[in-house]
Chains A and B, each alone.
Chain A
Amino acid sequence: MSESALPPAQYTRTAIALHWLIFGGIACAFALGWLMTDMAISPMKLKMYNWHKWLGVTILALAILRGIWRLTHSPPPFVPMPLWQQRLAHGLHVLLYLLLFAIPLSGWAYSNAVGYPIVYLGLWRLPDLLARNRELGAQLLVLHQTLGMVLLALLALHVAGALKHHLLDRDDTLKRMLRWRRVSVG
């Protein structure tokens, strides 16, 4: 294998930035989603719904960028670990990517189904994914919330894996997603 064909030793800064930006977006969207649904009707509740929707659209846009980046830039290979662990980690990553698209889209479709178009940041009206349909809207809400719960469970597994590598295996898995400084390959 020639030196240029070697897989990269580290994540690109773009990949690291997208990973943590999306994580931050998901954390905020979850917090808003939880709070806003339980609130009594008020102007603040309405605002929080809008923030939640804007965040969802932002996450979707970042997920598209990240998907393109991932397809055009190989991540560093797994640190040495059993094959089943590699498969588990890889499968988990695929599911997480799918949810990054499915959850915002299901929320967007739900909003349209109950008659609310999405106006990004209150400025740009996005196309409606479907026409108003109350029954479908109720089903889409259940789907949106269920996928959210699935994401939460998968994220718990993702974090548990990262911590296991960091604390028990003491390997580079977590650190390389935090390493902003470029390291020269020796």
Chain B
Amino acid sequence: MNPGSSLRRMIGVLASVVAVSAIAAQPALDVAKSSVTATFKQEGVPVESPFRKFSGNISYDPANVAAATALIEVDTGSLDIGDPAYNAEVQKPAWFDSARFPKASFRSTSIKASTTGFNATGTLTVKGRVLTITVPVTVRTAGNATTFDGTYNFSRKAFGIGDPIWNDVLEDQVVVRFRLVNAAR
């Protein structure tokens, strides 16, 4: 047996052990404790509606905030606005077109530390349209959980959500609130 190959094998095993333990230590998004909601306004009535399905990955090191990355994906068909018929309506082509665009996403491209957390700049992709946005995020740490809170004022028009005939009763601005909880496993 060639001593060089066995050394390489040992290094390989060691490296994978290190890699696996690093992944295990990495906190993961706790979806049950997290929420993503959209609050739209119809004739002055604010309706807070949750996205029932979303996923994501935030890597965050308080010692090196600028190195943080975030990817959040929301199932556009999972928006619950309080009634099955209306939930089905907003999946139609005039709205989210969930059949063609099942996911909306935010992917960070640059993170800058702020006094309360950080400002996340990245690409927001909804219904095939891509917009670069910056969202202020508040970070709180309690025990082994880190909570990321933020609000983004979403424009329906910018992403072609909803036929203009609705503009009379439905405001363009939709307030998207997220609370994402990273918990160490």
A119 & B44 in contact (Cβ 8 Å cutoff): yes
Q: How far is the CB of A171 from chain B (nearest CB, A)?
A: 47
Q: Is there contact, CB below 8 Å, between B44 and A114?
A: no
Q: Does A123 contact B42, Cβ atoms closer than 8 Å?
A: no
With contacts defined as CB atoms under 8 Å apart, how many contacts are there between chain A and chain B in the complex? 42
Tell me whether A117 and B89 are in contact (CB under 8 A).
no
- The answer on a CB contact under 8 Å between A115 and B48 is yes
Q: Mark B79-113, 1 if CB is under 8 A from A, else 0.
A: 00111011001000000000000000000000000
| Chain B hits for A134, CB < 8 A | 82
**Is the CB–CB distance between B83 and A114 below 8 Å?**
yes
Q: Which residue numbers of B lie inside 8 Å of A, CB to CB?
A: 42-49, 81-83, 85-86, 89, 165-166, 168-170
Do residues B165 and A115 form an inter-chain contact, with CB atoms below 8 A? no
Does B45 contact A41, Cβ atoms closer than 8 Å? no
Indicate if A58 sits at the interface (CB-CB under 8 A). Answer: no
Given contacts A43-B168, A43-B169, A115-B49, contact A50 B82 (CB under 8 A): no
How many A residues touch the partner, as a band? 10 to 19
Q: List 12 A-B contacts (CB under 8 A).
A: A41-B86, A41-B89, A43-B166, A46-B43, A46-B170, A50-B42, A114-B82, A115-B48, A116-B82, A119-B43, A119-B45, A132-B82
Task: For B49, list chain A residues within 8 Å (CB).
Answer: 115
**Which B residues are in CB contact (< 8 Å) with A43?**
165-166, 168-170
Interface residues, chain A, CB within 8 Å of chain B?
Answer: 41, 43, 46-47, 50, 114-119, 122-123, 125, 132, 134, 137
* A46, B89: Cα distance in complex, Å: 13
A144 to B68 alpha-carbon distance, docked (Å): 51
Instruction: List the A side residues contacting B170 at CB < 8 Å.
Output: 43, 46
A119 cross-chain contacts in B, Cβ below 8 A: 43-45
Q: Is A115 touching B47 in the complex (CB atoms < 8 A)?
A: yes
**Bound CA span A166–B81, Å:** 51
CB distance from B45 to the nearest CB of A (A): 5
Q: Is the CB of B47 within 8 A of A116?
A: yes
Q: How far does the Cβ of A120 sit from chain B's closest Cβ, in whole Å?
A: 9
Identify the closest chain A residue to B86 (Cβ): A41
Complex Cα–Cα for A117 and B85 (A):
19
Contacts beyond the supplied A41-B89, A43-B165, A115-B81: 12 A-B pairs with Cβ under 8 Å: A41-B85, A41-B86, A43-B168, A43-B170, A46-B43, A50-B45, A114-B83, A118-B45, A119-B44, A122-B43, A122-B44, A132-B82
